[in-house]
Structure 1
Amino acid sequence: MEKKNPKLGGKLLVLALIVLAVCSYFLIPSVRNTLNNIFNMFASGDFTVVKEFVNSYGPYAMVVSFLLMILQSVLAPLPAFLLTFANANLFGWWQGAILSWSSAMAGAALCFWIAKILGRDVVEKITSKAGLKQFDLFFERYGKQSILICRLLPFMSFDIVSYAAGLTSMKFWPFFLATGLGQLPATLVYSYVGGMLTGGAKLFVTALLILFALSVLVVLIRQIYTAKHKATSTLRP
């Protein structure tokens, strides 16, 4: 009697859910309109728009926020910090932090398992081939500490890191624990700042975050380029 391949069963299930989601988007107008509104909301770059959307669901606002965080995790790279700011403004900074952290953890776990089950070809279509290659180099350089380092750096794409980790031989629990520990400081800071953001302060802090992210990104790219150049030099006769 042949044994069933659990990975094949999981792959078929995930693919079936993806097909169902795509069909729902194109065949059900209400689903399509809601998702388009969500995409436009994130594209606005304004946390007040996100806040108003979440708040419109009244007693279900926390549930909607939780699901939105998971959605933006799967559909990288939607800006999660807008939702973190909105949660802090709506629910208070510490309650917003708990909500943002726990929902981000759920999203990270889902991305990790999608990558494990579906493999690189599918993940490249969901995210970006170039982005995954950058994280391949990062993982190769920093080894087991890669996830913790990535989570501590605010400019690193939270979602692509989760997908990239799922494509490695890394086990789930080390990934999950490193994600939880590394994500906590940024979540606390964003939530504390988000609880105070209004008007000009919002624009000022957003500009500072972008400037910081670009600065660290330049440093990281330089380090990766230097490491790659050294590796190439050592291979030459």
Structure 2
Amino acid sequence: MHVNVGWRAAALAVLPLAAGGIAYVAIPGVPEALHRALAILTTSDVTEAVAALRDYLGGFGIWAPVVSAALMVFQSIAAPIPAFLLTFTNGLLFGWAWGAALSWSSAMLGAALCFWLSRAFGRPAVEKLAGGSRALDTADLFFERYGSASILIARLLPFVSFDIISYAAGLTPVSFRRFLLATGVGQLPATLLYSYLGQSVTGSIRALFWLFSITVVIAIIGWLVGPKLFTRPANGGIR
């Protein structure tokens, strides 16, 4: 599906990409810094990755929040990188409150950019950015199953790809306002928790991440299935 969008909105989606491309080509040191960040963020050991990312961001001094935000937006658009690594590290570097604010706002910016890129250029371009059609096909089924609640549900599930849902939402008639509200509310609990854990602990990050994921999954299943169980006719049962 392709939803028509005005040229101003399309320009707002393209300009940040153009600015990033120019910076990558024209500013010395940017390519090397980006490649180093990607190497850290794709490290298999989560604890090691967070420690390395802390040192990496800390090396930018007062510009560390800007670099962190840029990496969050970048991973939202084109890179299959787990955003929770940045959220943990922001909590570790800036404290849970400022770290959460930085992670939440930069993730919102990345989500908005994905939404408008999708809406401006349509599915073929999105498939290239998302790495193929399979992920979008899965997202389509998710939207078909849960309708307008899909965005909120997906944001509450830490293992659901953040950028794929943003891209997929842009291909639907859902309004940007509704998309932004569901994204902001849905990602807030995980952002606050990961920021707090990042400030407090670093030794058991992987275990805590999966514990939180499992808890959220159980809550979502209960929310979706519970009402159906209680509204099922009680033929021959206790009334």
> Quick one: structure 1 residues 34 and 145, their matched pair in 2 at CA, closer, same or farther if it must change by over 3 Å?
same
Which runs of structure 2 are paired with 1:27-46 in the superposition (5 Å)? 30-44=29-43, 45=46, 46=49
Distance apart, 1:41 and its partner CA: 1.6
Counterpart residue number, 2:170: 166
For residues 118-157 of structure 1, give each alpha carbon's deviation from its aligned partner in whole angstroms, at most 9, with x where no partner exists: 1111110011311111010110111111111111111111
Conservation of the 8 A alpha-carbon contact between 1:51 and 1:83: no
Equivalent position to 2:190, from 181, 186, 189 = 186
> Quick one: structure 1 residues 182 and 30, their matched pair in 2 at CA, closer, same or farther if it must change by over 3 Å?
same
Where 2:29 maps in the other structure, the secondary structure is helix
Conservation of the 8 A alpha-carbon contact between 1:41 and 1:49: yes
> Structure 1 unaligned runs (5+)?
224-237
For residues 154-207 of structure 1, give each alpha carbon's deviation from its aligned partner in whole angstroms, at most 9, with x where no partner exists: 111111111110111111000000111111111111111111223x32354356
Conservation of the 8 A alpha-carbon contact between 1:76 and 1:160: no
- Quick one: which amino acid aligns to residue 76 of structure 2? S
Distance apart, 1:16 and its partner CA: 7.5
Q: Does 1:75 align with 2:78?
A: yes
Counterpart residue number, 1:114: 117
- Quick one: which amino acid aligns to residue 157 of structure 1? S
Across the two proteins, how many residue pairs are aligned to each other?
A: 211
In 2, the alpha carbon distance for the partners of 1:25 and 1:14 equals 18
> Quick one: structure 1 residues 153 and 17, their matched pair in 2 at CA, closer, same or farther if it must change by over 3 Å?
closer
> Quick one: structure 1 residues 152 and 50, their matched pair in 2 at CA, closer, same or farther if it must change by over 3 Å?
same
- Quick one: which amino acid aligns to residue 155 of structure 2? R
RMSD, aligned CA: 2.9
Higher mean displacement: 91-100 or 19-28: 19-28
Conservation of the 8 A alpha-carbon contact between 2:10 and 2:116: no
Counterpart residue number, 2:136: 132
- Quick one: which amino acid aligns to residue 182 of structure 2? A
Distance apart, 1:37 and its partner CA: 1.1
Conservation of the 8 A alpha-carbon contact between 2:87 and 2:194: yes
> Quick one: structure 1 residues 12 and 177, their matched pair in 2 at CA, closer, same or farther if it must change by over 3 Å?
closer
In 2, the alpha carbon distance for the partners of 1:87 and 1:111 equals 22
Equivalent position to 1:98, from 78, 92, 101 = 101
In 2, the alpha carbon distance for the partners of 1:173 and 1:67 equals 23
In 2, the alpha carbon distance for the partners of 1:109 and 1:15 equals 12
> Structure 2 unaligned runs (5+)?
226-239
- Quick one: which amino acid aligns to residue 114 of structure 1? L
Q: Does 1:141 align with 2:148?
A: no
Where 1:119 maps in the other structure, the secondary structure is helix
Conservation of the 8 A alpha-carbon contact between 2:152 and 2:186: yes
Choose between structure 1 and 2 for higher RCO, CA contacts under 8 A separated by at least 6 residues: 2
In 2, the alpha carbon distance for the partners of 1:10 and 1:143 equals 25
Distance apart, 1:8 and its partner CA: 5.2
Which runs of structure 2 are paired with 1:145-156 in the superposition (5 Å)? 145-156=149-160
Where 1:193 maps in the other structure, the secondary structure is helix
TM-score, reference length from structure 1 = 0.77
TM-score, reference length from structure 2 = 0.77
Where 2:81 maps in the other structure, the secondary structure is coil
> Quick one: structure 1 residues 49 and 206, their matched pair in 2 at CA, closer, same or farther if it must change by over 3 Å?
farther
